[in-house]
Amino acid sequence: MDLRQPCVKFKLDIDITKLKKEVLDSVSEWAPSQGKAKLLTMVGQPTLSKKLKKILESTLHEKIDKNFFVVDYKEVKKLNSHIDDKEKINYGNRYICVLPLEGDCNIKFQINENSEPFFNTNFSAGTIAVLDNTTYWHSVDVLSPTRVTLVFWIKDENSIN
């Protein structure tokens, strides 16, 4: 995949309520997030069915990495501007996929940490946003009372998985 902009969205043709239940029911343990932001979010590792993985790959027209996480933002309303490490955050992959299972958000992309956004977009439950999160600085504003997302990666040829 070669994005021509920092974010591309794909509408998932699936019942988002059923998907949310399947994903959340498969998480056996939740833990506080360990990222630099030190937010009050919770993270879990779901076990996804082969059928669901095929649906995601078919929607994206790309192979996806084997790693999946669910992030529950609880009452967190903002992720400050940051750029993600390709090896530590993305498992060696360039693009991250964010699929809200609940909630709406706005993501802004900047060239530098404190520069004005040059691109921004809203996305909500049922829309996969593929982000170039290792190239561009980005921040997120949660627009709904809460946000729960499924996070995974487009598999690069040179990924560590």
Tell me: the pLDDT tens digits for 46-55? 999 999 999 9
- Residue 21 makes CB contacts below 8 A (sequence gap 6+) with none
- How high is the mean pLDDT of the chain? 88
The yes/no answer on whether domain 7-154 falls in CATH 3.30.420.40 is no
CB distance 33 to 76 below 8 Å: no
Q: Which of 105, 125, 148, 126 is nearest to 11 (CA)?
A: 126
Percentage, residues of the chain above pLDDT 90 = 58
Q: What is the pLDDT of residue 120?
A: 94
Question: What does the alpha-carbon distance between residue 151 and residue 148 come to, in Å, rounded to a whole number?
Answer: 10
pLDDT score of 135 more than 90: no
Q: What is the pLDDT of residue 79?
A: 86
CB distance 117 to 108 below 8 Å: yes
Q: In what order do the strands lie in the sheet with 148-154?
A: 7-11, 127-131, 96-102, 148-154, 64-72, 42-44, 30-32
- Quote the pTM value: 0.89
Tell me: the pLDDT tens digits for 70-100? 999 888 888 888 888 777 777 778 889 999 9
